[in-house]
Structure 1
Amino acid sequence: MNSLNKDEKKDLVESKVLSWIDDHHDEIAGFLQELIQIPSVNPWFRPKEDESREADVQKAIGNRMQALGAEVANWEPNAKELAKYEGRAGYYADHKFEGRPNQAAVLKGSGGGRSMLLTGHVDVVPAGNGWTVDPYLGERREGVIYGRGAVDMKGGIAAMIMAVEAVVKSGYRMKGDVTVGTVVDEEAGGMGTLDFVDKGYRADACIMTESTDLKVAPLCRGILWGKLIIPGRSGHIELPQGDWREGGAVDAVTLARVFMDHFDRLNADWRLRKTHPYMSIPCQLYIAQVNAGEYPTAFANKAELVFDAQYLPREKDDMGLGSKVKAEIEEFINRVAMTEPWLREHPPVIEWLIDADCGETPVEHPFVQTIGESLKKVISEEMIEGIGFHTDMGWFTNVGIPTVNFGPGNPSVAHQDNESLEEKELIKAVKTIALTLIEWCGVADA
């Protein structure tokens, strides 16, 4: 090998690693099955007994990484210790972490290379009642693996760990350090990642292996959940009602329709202003729930519109959150209220439920280009596209780590009944991450 030039050596390394991945297809699929077979439902969702086993998933990951020579650290986050982040993304004073550890497995490099962080969350949402297969069996059928977390995001975790294993088992050692960081609590707000960053883990680049359909996603949008509470005044729905100033009924459902019509106009404006060259859809405000009224015979005395609104990284405030967009929505709602005499005297109220942060790494950054070139070697094309949903990438970009989302599986399948992942996509993800490790970190003979 010493007689080969630099490019020939790299080609030989890549060929050997890719061959190892092809030869160990069943082992890679089997590791994903192993992770699925350990239920790790976030306890925020009040899972059934024995379904909240995040610690057991971490143990399985830790054992695999230790076998590769990694140093594994395991600890439980503590909300009191993180109180300094109150008001910032991912902090929730009431979250509990007994038996729910974060984990960092550090594979030390030989020196002279750039470091890499591979990260993902081990918690999943509940399986629900609509499954036609066992959600925790990890069944393989005709090249597809079924199970809760197959896409979100144990498939990505399996891919990143097996990519590291492919390089090591092929007889090479990364020059730069590689950290595999697996966190809890993403499905309930992201406090695990906040804690991981607070512990001081850093790298020259990061891949968050959320499912992206094998697209390189250098940004995710922020997400706001809000509840608009519209007051009305009840009255018998079958009888004439006088003017509201004289005690007549005010139908909150009718007022809710007014707001929904105006939200359509807001969205038309946002479709022009809140776009991004790497986002396939603009930011919008969508009504997700409509709750109103008490009785079939009475006009509604209150209506609630629960909505989801997205914002772009360029709209973040100094705390990394969406207060600017909140203020924009509040001002819009106040303007609409001023068009209705009743609402001028009985203004609606907004309750903000969730502010999930966002992040972005410039497409021209060398790391984005590196993973894009690696992907082209696997699928013959480079696909760069941001993702509309929230991921935990924001805190990594906040502390200066260039981060991309990249992982196997269609994200729209996440949280669905019969969640599944095609094995061929899992293998492509393993190959892309392995090639990125080789190029970014550099390798030497073990």
Structure 2
Amino acid sequence: MDRETVFKILEKLIAINTANPPGNEKAAAEYLYELFCEEKISARIQDLGNNRANLTASYGNGEPEIIFCGHLDVVPAAEDWQFPPFQMIKKGERLYGRGTADMKGGVAAMCAVLLQLSRENIRLSGTLTLVLVADEECGNLGMRHFLREKGKAAFAVIGEPTELQVAVAHRGVLRDYVDIAAAPYHAALPLQQHNAMQDAAKAINAIFRMNEALVQYRHALLPPPGIAVTMVEGYEKDNIVPGHVRLLTDFRVLPGMGYEECRRLEEQALEGIENCSLSKHFFMPGGEMDSGHALVKKCCEIGERVLGEPQSPAAFDASCEQCFLVGHGIPAVICGPGSLKQAHTSEEYVEEEQIRLAVKYYYQIAMEFLKGEESK
């Protein structure tokens, strides 16, 4: 296979602006659909409406089925960029552009493997399915839609940026709105009058103090839960102390911590603050796989051979969609090219060598799990 194929795919995907919101992933799905159809690889677009779509493609047939999974959307590129964010720029051994690391680099590598298997006419004793979803960066619309139609599979590999280390666990996230109300009044009146701003300050301090108690929660790989305030909103007019202030929390939670437990912890922290109410904005549970699972061990073995260095199960520092796959009964590891440190930055890049190694890594996973051999 032409090893530069993967970079051509990545360059095209970077040029398709799928910043979420609004997403517009359908254009990327249509590009890949046409690419696979040209190679006579079975592909399907799952239309989600409003220019949102998933793309699935498969090679081989029968069971077992393994899934290569990624997302087509990226975060917005509103910051000042050294290079055009929706143009792949090569500088030395780095490829710059929005999504190079998170995670169009992983998507391109997975696509390239399907093409390589097809072009080499490899016979698999099972099916390799590529699942590329919309809306991972916001509400997981694409993954939820895919799983509503999906049965079981042997396992999945999610191509989030882990520098090709095998990650088996991630924290979930709860985002709640905290609304604080009090009577508005003229800013020229005495400061001792009770107001929503003062209560908002108390609420912010109470939320950050939660972190002192959260350190008691332990996990073998993941850090303790942590909570922060990511939004404060309350302006009415220059000379009015507002009657309503809204906060948004970001609560990173361990696998097994359900919404009700997390909500209860927030309520306890805010107890005593007048006219304070909580409302749910978003919840994604944490996810994890047993580090001793045969899938994990095999992926680590393949990784050691491809990378030439020891591998052991690690944690993924951000949230991702492993939790949904595992919750659906599909074991899943997280392993992809690039570093999470580059994700969501204004200088996002991936090393060329990471992409090349990812193609080799994913190819070996397909061949060894599905006992691939060249057709006679």
TM-score by length of 1: 0.76
State the shift of 1:262 in Å: 2.6
* TM-aligned CA deviation for residue 397 of structure 1: 1.2
Unaligned runs of 5+ in 1: 1-19, 78-96, 242-247, 317-321, 338-342
Q: Which is worse superposed, 388-397 or 60-69?
A: 60-69
Aligned to 2:220: 277
Higher helix share: 1
**Are the equivalent residues in 1 in contact too, given 2:106–2:337 (CA < 8 A)?**
yes
Distance 1:62 1:201 in 2: 22
Q: Count the aligned residue pairs.
A: 374
> Once superposed, what is the RMSD of the aligned Cα atoms?
2.5
Aligned to 1:34: 12
Q: 1:216 & 1:367 partners in 2: Cα distance?
A: 10
* 1:87 match: none
Contact 1:119/1:182 (8 A) holds in 2: yes
Q: In 2, are the aligned partners of 1:223 and 1:389 still within 8 Å (CA)?
A: no
Give the superposition deviation at 1:153: 1.6
Structure 2: gaps of 5 or more residues: none
Distance 1:191 1:35 in 2: 20
User: CA 1:170–1:107 in 2, change beyond 3 Å: closer, same or farther?
Assistant: closer
Write the letter of the residue equivalent to 1:328.
L
- Offset from partner CA, 1:100-133 (integer Å, 9 cap, x none): 3322212114x6x732111112122333252232
Letter in 2 for 1:351: S
Q: Which residue of 1 aligns with 2:47?
A: 76
TM-score (norm 2): 0.89
Q: Which residue of 2 aligns with 1:244?
A: none
CA positional deviation for 1:236: 5.0
C-alpha separation in 1, matches of 2:127 and 2:323: 22
- CA 1:422 to 1:255, structure 2 compared with 1: closer, same or farther past 3 Å? same
Larger Rg: 1
Structure-to-structure mapping, 1:132-143, within 5 angstroms? 132-143=82-93
- Contact 2:156–2:332 (Cα < 8 Å) also in 1: yes
Q: Map 1:38-437 onto structure 2 (within 5 A).
A: 38-42=16-20, 44-45=21-22, 52=24, 54-77=25-48, 97-109=49-61, 114-128=64-78, 130-170=80-120, 172-235=122-185, 237=187, 239-240=189-190, 249-273=193-217, 275-279=218-222, 281-292=223-234, 294=236, 299-316=241-258, 322-334=259-271, 336-337=272-273, 343=274, 347-379=275-307, 380-437=309-366
Equivalent position amino acid for 1:310 in 2: R
Structure 1 residues 40, 292: CA separation in 2 closer, same or farther (over 3 Å shift)?
A: closer
Partners of 1:100 and 1:297 lie apart in 2 by 43
Note closer, same or farther for the CA distance 1:201–1:121 as it changes in structure 2 (3 Å cut).
farther
Identity of aligned residues (%): 24
Letter of the structure 2 residue corresponding to residue 410 of structure 1: S
Structure 1 position 400, deviation (Å): 0.8
Task: State the 1:214 CA deviation.
Answer: 2.1
Could you tell me whether the CA contact under 8 Å between 1:148 and 1:419 is conserved in 2? yes
Contact 1:212–1:411 (Cα < 8 Å) also in 2: yes
Contact 2:73/2:135 (CA < 8 Å) preserved in 1?
Answer: yes
Cα 1:194–1:264 change in 2 (3 A) is closer
| SS of match in other structure, 1:158 | helix
- Matched residue of 2:76: which SS? coil
Q: 2:69 touches 2:132 (CA, 8 Å); kept in 1?
A: yes
Counterpart-to-counterpart distance in 2, 1:311 and 1:304 = 22
Post-superposition shift, 1:298? 5.1
SS of the residue aligned with 1:400? coil
Distance 1:138 1:201 in 2: 37
Q: More strand per residue: 1 or 2?
A: 2
